[in-house]
């Protein structure tokens, strides 16, 4: 398979012949690489240009594990303050294991992808209970911990224990896809890219090599306008040699993100307390607190939606009042518009029918609870509303 003889549909790799052609192409590209000079050039560059990051100043596997989880789908500049606050709050895995989940989620608040925090908490229990509080150094055991996949396990083991375990995060996929001029989207050739990552890994210096590979993707081999003239792999990079660095890696065709319209109730009682509920553990925002509400059904007004959802979810009657605000927020797979209204509790005792817990709190107590980022905007608006009265 050459770049000039691709299948008519690059994403159609369903046949055994096409898969074999792609495998032969990738392995042929790898065999042409001068691996030792490649490794040496990258490590020299890393010694001069590598980033000084807090988790690179330690070999503590707990610290490195926390950083690896936080860095999943999150930029370094965003992670650093969260990483430092986390270790101040939970300096050891034992501290994390004994902490209440609500405290863990509160420290994580704003970092997104909250399943990561829940999985860290669950994994801490496993490490304390089954491994005596020592982070394991065996790949299969690490891989079995909640929230840890193949590339995260490789990153932890190479960084903490200097073990020769390859990695394949988003940056590394892009670097390797350009290195061999991969003619299909990386996610269509993951096992082949794992073979490439394994082939180029410097087994004598796996910690520095993997860190260097991630830095190369983050700072030089960027998604758009890569700085090829500064790249230590420029001479052997097939994408650069073919002047295709801006076309590779090829991307999947993505459908537009759908938008969900949600009616949200800020429910007040006669003592000016506000009703909040805690989401069930599963799902995108599991375990977090929120202002109750739900999806607007076809033909339904916002006010009708809020009144219905509160009856279904909490078993109470409310009066829907003035609009407080509209919040637009984007998650990884959809957009959401929150239509937020002041509401007054009329009758009924709130019940956790479709949530884990309900609670009346004062406006000043809201900051004690972990909320999704979009809900934090509502809290800020409520404080401004009160102060403006």
**Hey, which residues are catalytic here?**
68
CA-based radius of gyration for the chain? 25
Task: Name residue 325's beta-bridge partners.
Answer: 340
Contact criterion met (CB below 8 Å) for 333 and 341: no
Task: Name residue 360's beta-bridge partners.
Answer: 275
The DSSP-derived string for 185-206 is: -GGGSHHHHHHHHHHH--TTSH
Widest pairwise Cα distance in the chain? 76
- Residue 226 phi/psi, 5-degree rounding, is -60, 150
Peptide bond into 342 cis (omega under 30): no
Contact criterion met (CB below 8 Å) for 297 and 305: yes
Residues 6+ apart with CB under 8 A from 283: none
Count, residues in the chain = 389
d(CA 356, CA 4): 57
Contact criterion met (CB below 8 Å) for 21 and 1: yes
- Backbone angle region of 269, left / alpha / beta, with phi > 0 → left and psi within -120 to 50 → alpha: beta
d(CA 209, CA 26): 21
Contact criterion met (CB below 8 Å) for 116 and 285: no
The 8-class DSSP code of residue 148 comes to -
Q: What is the SS3 assignment for 161?
A: helix
Q: What is the SS3 assignment for 210?
A: helix
């Amino acid at each position: 398979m050459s770049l000039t003889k691709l299948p008519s549909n690059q994403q159609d790799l369903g046949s055994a012949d096409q898969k074999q052609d792609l495998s032969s192409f990738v392995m042929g590209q790898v065999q042409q690489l001068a691996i030792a000079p490649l490794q040496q050039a990258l490590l020299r560059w890393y010694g001069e240009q590598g980033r000084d990051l807090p988790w690179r100043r330690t070999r503590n596997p707990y610290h490195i594990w926390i950083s690896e989880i936080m860095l999943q789908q999150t930029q370094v500049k965003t992670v650093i303050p969260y990483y430092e606050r986390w270790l101040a709050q939970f300096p050891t895995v034992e501290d994390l294991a004994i902490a209440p989940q609500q405290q863990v989620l509160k420290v994580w608040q704003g970092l997104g992808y909250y399943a990561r925090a829940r999985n860290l908490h669950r994994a801490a229990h496993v490490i304390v209970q089954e491994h005596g509080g020592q982070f394991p150094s065996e790949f299969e055991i690490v891989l079995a911990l909640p929230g840890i996949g193949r590339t995260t396990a490789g990153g932890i083991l190479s960084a903490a224990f200097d073990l020769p375990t390859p990695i394949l995060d988003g940056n590394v996929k892009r670097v390797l896809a350009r290195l061999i001029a991969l003619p299909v989207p990386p996610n269509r050739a993951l096992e082949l890219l794992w073979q490439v990552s394994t082939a180029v890994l410097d087994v004598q210096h796996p910690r520095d090599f993997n860190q260097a590979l991630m830095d190369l993707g983050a700072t030089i081999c960027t998604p758009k306008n890569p700085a090829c003239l500064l790249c230590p792999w420029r001479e052997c990079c097939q994408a650069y040699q073919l002047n295709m660095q801006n076309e590779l890696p090829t991307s999947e065709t993505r459908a537009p993100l759908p938008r969900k319209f949600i009616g949200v109730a800020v429910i007040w009682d006669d003592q000016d307390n506000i009703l909040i509920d805690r989401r069930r553990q599963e799902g995108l925002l599991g375990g977090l607190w929120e202002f109750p509400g739900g999806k607007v059904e076809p033909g339904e007004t916002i006010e009708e939606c809020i009144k219905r959802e509160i009856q279904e979810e909490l078993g109470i009657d409310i009066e829907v009042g003035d609009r407080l605000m509209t919040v637009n927020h984007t998650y990884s797979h959809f957009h959401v518009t929150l239509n937020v209204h002041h509401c007054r509790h009329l009758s009924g005792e709130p019940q956790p029918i479709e949530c884990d817990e309900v609670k009346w709190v004062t406006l000043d107590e809201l900051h004690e609870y972990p909320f999704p980022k979009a809900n934090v905007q509502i809290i800020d608006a409520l404080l401004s509303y009160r102060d403006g009265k």
